[in-house]
Structures are given as structure tokens and as C-alpha cells.
A = this chain, B = another copy of it.
Amino acid sequence: MTRDEPLFLRAARRMPLDRPPVWFMRQAGRYMPEYRAMRERYSLLELCAEPSLACEVTLQPLRAFEVDAAILFADILLPLIPLGLELRFAAGEGPVIDNPIRSHRALDALSHVDVSADLGHVFEAVRMIRGELDDDVALIGFAGAPFTVATYAIEGGSSRHFLQTKQMMYRAPDLWAGIMERLTEITVAYLRAQVEAGAQAIQLFDTWAGILAPQDYRQYAQPYSKRVFAGLDDLEVPLIHFGVGTSHLLEDIRDAGGDVIGLDWRIPLDEGWQRIGYDHGVQGNLDPTALFAPVEELTRRVADILRRAENRSGHIFNLGHGILPTTPVDAVKRVVELVHAASARSSVRT
């Protein structure tokens, strides 16, 4: 690791910097006209399945904004497909799985997954993207955490109360453990292969961890996330651990693993970082709906996050969750400029 490393990687390794790097979750998405044009021709799963399309979509925000990182265009549920789950995206409904796993029989019926063969298109996309990116832009690979992926596999899609999931945890702990072990194993292999193909950092999305009580998180989710992080440890790429609505779990999420911990907007960045500890980086914090605010209000909110971060080593600027589909493109551009301007200011100061 050198001073010529991408800013994003230096931040993730907590090296001192003039300004934090900035990127956005779902920076390739429906808010961009270029992306919508692609989606008129291809479904989400088609974009994910064809490396040249995934590469093209990954690069769209890099052409539009001076973000410091690209994130592989993919979906956290892709590894469920080779397992034999029938994943589709219903209009307006999000992901739907027509044969959710709710029995030992369904678990036993899952196919054997050879990650490098069955998800080879993802690694091919990683190689293509890495070949196209400038050296100063980092490429982030990712996967869903076993818990979050399991909620979809068990509920058969998005959920409000996660009743099937929790019911299985409480009533069929062996079945739960069986599913989680299966997902953990695939997740480690999937992420290792992304790094081997050229991903320079990894983000683990435990999007729904926040629905759990701390004790339930520690019993039913954390052990598997720990194993994912442990399984990547020797690769020496920075690891980001993301969740939303996790103000009550920050310490437990940190203890599960990751060099950089995600903070949504529900906790002031300084307070969250203090709880996590300065031996970890933090990422996130801007409410995605702030991008709909008037420019003065957006500016104030970005400045507030930068002020709370105090240009401490290990800060990565991002939203607390993904960019919403109707977000104005100009607001995204504006946030990038504001974070860049923080650099100019701090340069003047030093």
C-alpha cells in the first residue's frame, strides 16, 4: 500500500488524508437516465448475468461523477440462483422467490454450488471492470451477509415482520443453522473469487440485521458473519460491514468483523464512531432523502457530517442506504463536489 493507492483504499486502511473518499450505494441505478435506458432493454437479472452489461452499468456513475470507488453491479441474491432458488424481480414488488426454503427437505434439495463455474459471470464482470477503471478508482466487491440473504430465501422475498425467518430461528434452530452454514460457505467462496478477480475491497451487506434484538443477533446472525470475515482475513483487502437501523447493534456488528462499519442516518456520525472505536473506519450517515432537499439544506447536512468526522482517518463518505430511484442527479453531483471542496478547505488549513 502506497501513497499512489486509490484514495478509497487509503481511507479504508485509515491512512491520513486531505478529504474523505466518496461513493454511493446504488450509484448505478434508476435515478440515472443512462441506467434507465439499459433497463428498457434488459432486466435486472440480465444485466447481472452478462459481464459486459454489468461492466457497462458499473461504469455509468464513474463517467457522471468523480466518485472514488466503483461497486460491482450485482444483486445480493445472485448466489441463491445456483442453489436452485427461483429468483425473479416482480415489477414494484422487489425480489420474489417462488420456492423459499422452509423445511429440511427444501434445504437438502438445494443444488451443489461450484462458485467459480456457477457464478463465473460475476468474476468475469469484475475482471472487465477492473480493466476499465482508472488506477485511482477502487473497485468494491460485495455480498449479502448470511442473515440478510437467509431472510429472502426463507420469506420468499422482502418482508415486514420477518415472521417466517424468526419462526424458523426459534422453532427449528437446526434447520436455521443448516441454511446459515450453507450460505456462509458460499459467501466466503463467492467473495474470495471476487477478490481474486480484482475486487480491491469487500462490503458485506447485512441490510436487515437491525430487525433483531441484540441477543438474537448474537445467537442467530453474528456467528455466521464472523465466519465470513474470518474467511477473508488472509486476503488483506479492506472489509466494510454494512447495516441499516443498527444503532442498537453497532458494537455487535463491529465485533462480527470488518475494518469499516456502516452508519445510517439514525445516529450522529461522531456518536456512532465513538461507540465503534477509532481503530475502525466508518462509512455512510447521510439520509438518502437528504438528496431531495434544497441545495442549502443538503449542503448543511453534508457539512455537518464532515464536521463530525473531523477529518479523522478512516472516514468514507456515503449515504446511510442506497440512492432512491427518483433522486435528482444534480444532488448526487453536488454531494461529490461538497466532499471534494472539503479537501480544498483542509488543504488551506494545513
Interface residues of A (CB under 8 A from B): 161-163, 166-167, 170-171, 210, 212-216, 245, 247-248, 265-268, 287-290, 292-294, 297, 324, 326
Contact = CB atoms under 8 A, between A and B. Distances in A.
Contacts of A215: 268
Contacts of A324: 161, 163
Contact of A293 (B170, B266, B290): B170
A130 to B, nearest CB: 33
Given A247-B247, A247-B248, A248-B267, A161 B210 contact: no
Given A171-B292, A213-B267, A214-B266, 7 more contacts: A161-B289, A166-B292, A170-B292, A170-B294, A212-B266, A245-B245, A247-B248
A215 B216 CA distance: 29
A163 B268 contact: no
A293 B212 CA distance: 15
B248 A170 contact: no
Given A166-B292, A292-B167, A324-B163, A213 B265 contact: yes
A166 B248 contact: no
Contacts of A266: 210, 212-214, 248
The residue among A213, A268, A293 with the most chain B CB atoms within 10 A of its own CB is: A213
A199 B210 CA distance: 35
Contacts of A287: 166, 213, 216
Contacts of A293: 167, 170-171
Contacts of A289: 161-163, 166-167, 170
Contacts of A162: 289
A216 B320 CA distance: 15
A246 to B, nearest CB: 9
26 contacts: A161-B288, A161-B289, A161-B324, A162-B289, A163-B292, A163-B324, A163-B326, A166-B287, A166-B289, A170-B289, A170-B293, A170-B297, A171-B292, A171-B293, A171-B294, A210-B245, A213-B265, A213-B266, A213-B267, A213-B287, A214-B267, A214-B268, A216-B287, A247-B248, A248-B266, A248-B267
